[in-house]
């Protein structure tokens, strides 16, 4: 294979991938201005500004020789041909939607790094085609259900999901139709049988890589997630006339339990546990709360560890309630299994990071990503970029130019490795 190139010739003294990285970052900022809100970035499933995003990325892909289409779920798909017709394909992608008041890089950078890798080919054809995918929806903002875009690729955009409504009673089906697409053609969005793998570049959205002073990480697994709702039920009473030893205070019980959850999670490597919401009833300053509702979010890369922790948290809530003369009930909101990334691809990424003169770091992703959906059908893997300050889902979200350069370099080296790997090419 000939030497892969950057998109534009680097000026004298520039680093090899500096120009490509600068372009990718500039394009992220450009797309961030295409928003539902005039003063901040917000792009939900198939909103009007998504048309403009599609238009821009389509022009960039077509300039590189890719054939671009929008599938029936609103995913942008740019296909760059292989050296021979009928060859298998590699998917590279991430999502184009955002949370409200978003930063410029979550999701979108992964798509534009796919564009940058096609540019680095400089017309070179590989033993596999490359399909750059910009998913229409990952965040779950508009319909309260995430991964609409990637679910379409694996055959899980079903009738139940198509009937789901947003806050304005618009269904997913109607949103697709309003965008000028045909819901009955969703099955045509399924990934082809000869798909070799899916790769996703994504900002870490956390502080781990920055703490380790490493620009890139390789994701071994996307953590499983349990979400539950707990309600401590005590007795409402007067705050001034009820002695402390005669109280059945639901908030006090909840506070003790929250502290127990934090202590447990701090002692369990790789675990995060969060009580993110508390509601007290009746919620007055001079009344002992008779009821306290709390949410619990528990994540770990091991399903066994996560499930065991949840059982411990449930047991602790019951023990605290009984000792304090209260009752407690719970409701399971989500039980998402952990998803392991493909071991072969993880090893290849690790070596590509090392070849780019960076020390690789294997890690779990605490957040959900499209890779966990694609992994249901094809081998999948993720590459994390360091997130300055660990800030994400906020306008202060940023990336370092040098890290984006390293991501492109790593991607180029990875493409070389995969193109010369007989083990990879015979996977379909």
Total domains in the chain come to 2
Q: What is the pLDDT of residue 239?
A: 96
- 213 and 68 share a domain? yes
| Type and span of the H or E element at 270 | none
**Which of these three, 336, 353, 386, is where a domain ends?**
336
CA distance 373 to 300: 17
CA distance 282 to 149: 41
In a domain, 13, yes or no: no
- 45 and 178 share a domain? yes
* Predicted model pTM: 0.88
**Which of these three, 294, 315, 336, is where a domain ends?**
336
- 278 and 397 share a domain? no
In a domain, 386, yes or no: yes
- Extract the tokens encoding 336: 């998402």
In a domain, 173, yes or no: yes
Is 382 in a helix, a strand, or coil? strand
- 332 and 346 share a domain? no
- 207 and 73 share a domain? yes
- 76 and 198 share a domain? yes
- 247 and 353 share a domain? no
In a domain, 8, yes or no: no
Q: What is the pLDDT of residue 9?
A: 58
- Report the CATH number that the domain containing residue 88 is assigned in CATH: 3.40.630.10
10 Å Cβ neighbour count for 174?
Answer: 16
Based on the number of CB atoms within 10 Å of its own CB, is 242 exposed (0-12), middle (13-18) or buried (19 or more)?
middle
- 48 and 108 share a domain? yes
Is-cis flag, bond preceding 282, omega within 30? yes
Size (the chain), residues? 428
Q: Are 302 and 338 in contact (CB under 8 A)?
A: yes
Nearest residue to 208 via CA among 228, 224, 223:
223
CA distance 187 to 154: 9
* In 298-383, alpha helices (H): 303-323, 343-355, 370-374
Q: What is the pLDDT of residue 2?
A: 46
| Type and span of the H or E element at 249 | none
Q: Are 191 and 91 in contact (CB under 8 A)?
A: yes
In a domain, 7, yes or no: no
Radius of gyration of the chain (CA): 24
Within 13 Å and on the Cβ side, how many CA atoms surround 420? 9
Q: Which residues of the chain have pLDDT under 50?
A: 1-8
- 35 and 165 share a domain? yes
- 168 and 115 share a domain? yes
Task: Give the strand pairing for 89-95 and 327-336.
Answer: unpaired
In a domain, 12, yes or no: no
Range of the domain at 310: 224-336
- 173 and 91 share a domain? yes
For 12-44, how does the pLDDT look when each residue is reduced to its tens digit (9 = 90+)? 677 889 999 999 999 999 999 999 999 999 999
In angstroms, how far is CA 300 from the centroid of its own chain? Answer: 15
Nearest residue to 200 via CA among 121, 120, 336, 106:
106
- Report the CATH number that the domain containing residue 254 is assigned in CATH: 3.30.70.360
Q: Are 376 and 2 in contact (CB under 8 A)?
A: no
């Amino acid at each position: 294979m000939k030497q892969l190139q950057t998109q534009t010739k680097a000026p004298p003294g520039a680093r090899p991938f500096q120009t490509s990285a600068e372009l990718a970052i500039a394009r992220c900022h450009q797309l961030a201005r295409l928003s539902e809100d005039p003063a901040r970035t917000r792009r939900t499933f198939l909103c009007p500004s998504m048309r403009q995003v599609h238009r821009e990325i389509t022009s960039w892909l077509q300039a590189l020789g890719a054939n671009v289409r929008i599938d029936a779920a609103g995913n942008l798909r740019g296909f760059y041909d292989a050296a021979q017709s009928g060859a298998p394909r590699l998917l590279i992608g991430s999502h184009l939607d955002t949370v409200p008041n978003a930063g410029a890089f979550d999701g979108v950078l992964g798509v534009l790094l796919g564009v940058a890798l096609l540019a680095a080919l400089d017309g070179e054809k590989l033993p596999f085609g490359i399909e750059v995918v910009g998913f229409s929806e990952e965040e779950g903002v508009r319909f309260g259900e995430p991964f609409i875009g990637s679910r379409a690729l694996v055959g899980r955009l079903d009738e139940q999901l198509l009937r789901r409504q947003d806050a304005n009673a618009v269904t997913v089906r109607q949103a697709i139709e309003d965008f000028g697409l045909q819901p009955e053609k969703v099955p045509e969005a399924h990934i082809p049988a000869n798909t070799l793998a899916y790769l996703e570049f994504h900002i870490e959205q956390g502080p781990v890589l920055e703490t380790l002073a490493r620009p890139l990480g390789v994701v071994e697994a996307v953590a499983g997630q349990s979400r539950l709702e707990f309600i401590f039920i005590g007795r409402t009473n007067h705050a001034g006339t009820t002695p402390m030893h005669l109280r059945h205070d639901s908030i006090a019980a909840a506070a003790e339990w929250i502290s127990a959850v934090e202590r447990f999670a701090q002692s369990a490597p790789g675990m995060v546990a969060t009580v993110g919401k508390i509601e007290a009833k009746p919620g007055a300053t001079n009344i002992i709360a008779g009821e306290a509702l709390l949410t619990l979010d528990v994540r770990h890369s091991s399903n066994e560890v996560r499930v065991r922790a949840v059982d411990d948290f449930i047991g602790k809530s019951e023990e605290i309630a009984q000792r304090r003369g209260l009752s407690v009930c719970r409701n399971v909101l989500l039980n998402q299994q952990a998803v392991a990334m493909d071991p072969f691809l993880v090893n290849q990424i690790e070596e590509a990071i090392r070849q780019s003169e960076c020390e690789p770091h294997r890690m779990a992703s605490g957040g959900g990503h499209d890779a966990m959906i694609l992994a249901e059908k094809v081998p999948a893997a993720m590459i994390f970029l360091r997130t300055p300050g660990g800030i994400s889902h906020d306008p202060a979200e940023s990336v370092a130019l040098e890290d984006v350069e390293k991501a492109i370099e790593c991607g180029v080296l990875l493409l070389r490795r995969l193109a010369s790997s007989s083990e990879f090419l015979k996977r379909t």
